[in-house]
Amino acid sequence: SQVDFVFCAVDMKKDEIKALEEAYAKAECPVISNNSANRGYADVPMIVPEINAGHAEVITTQRARLGTKRGFIAVKSNCSIQSYVPALSPLMGYGITKVLACTYQAISGAGKTFETWPEMLDNLIPFIGGEEEKSELEPMKVWGKVVDGKIVNAVTPAITTQCLRVPVSDGHTAAVFVSFEKKPSKEEILKLWKEFNGVPQDLDLPSAPKQFLNYFEEDNRPQAKLDRDLEKGMAVSIGRLREDSQYDYKFVCLSHNTIRGAAGGAVLMAELLAAKGYMD
């Protein structure tokens, strides 16, 4: 009997993961991957379901390349971008020109707990291997366009990031600075965040948060401990929107890195692809 599909989250070398995922796809088993090995291919969709559900259409091109009828690989983006990319996406209509994002990432993102990583107590490490490169590059794929059956990465906005490991069990926080071609008002930004939803909400998918983006008026929110579990960890929290002297605006945001950023995001992507008929 055939396996309907698989989730892939393995700790192996990149070329080994690539071979493994392709083998499953070629055996006509769809692969929903948390790994980065296949993220670079223009015909492998990297989907944040509320933002770029339409990228699923490149699966047709990928199947032709792999010689499959049903099998394919779809990947989740890096957990670091799942806090700030959802907050920036509704604002694209104002022409985002540049973004600076500093992320403060939980230890569970490294597969660790305080018991297994005691040196993280009372500590902060200003480096996470490969993370800044992914954080600057992957939004360009998410914001890209499908042209002739392949994803062509966006070329704007210019993004620079710094990623820090902080002594938090779960929840990645980002401090974001953004400039626009046509600067919106604060009220316009808040309205866009409040009203933003995507295909998962329209289809009422089981894992979809009812309210994807949640803005907190309090100066001291969102906080990892208080807000990471919002909507079962599938919502994104935003706060502290204000004008900036160097950029147009600055704000902070938070997402649960192992739920929205990893397992939950993969489940939601699988639900989306099933609803769109790619698992038939």
Which residues have a catalytic role annotated?
A: 79, 172
Q: Tell me the β-bridge partners of 180.
A: 96
Task: Identify the helix (H) or strand (E) that includes residue 75.
Answer: strand 73-75
Give yes or no for a contact between 227 and 236, defined as CB atoms under 8 angstroms apart: no
Which pair of tokens denotes residue 237? Answer: 């929290």
Q: Residue type at 59?
A: I
Which pair of tokens denotes residue 45? Answer: 């969709």
Residue 202: count of CB within 10 angstroms of its CB: 11
Which pair of tokens denotes residue 196? Answer: 């933003």
Q: Residue type at 119?
A: E
Strands 172-180 and 96-105: antiparallel
Q: From edge to edge, which strands make up the β-sheet containing 158-165?
A: 158-165, 96-105, 172-180, 249-255, 236-243, 213-216
Q: Cβ neighbours of residue 124 under 8 Å, at least 6 residues apart?
A: 164, 165, 166, 167
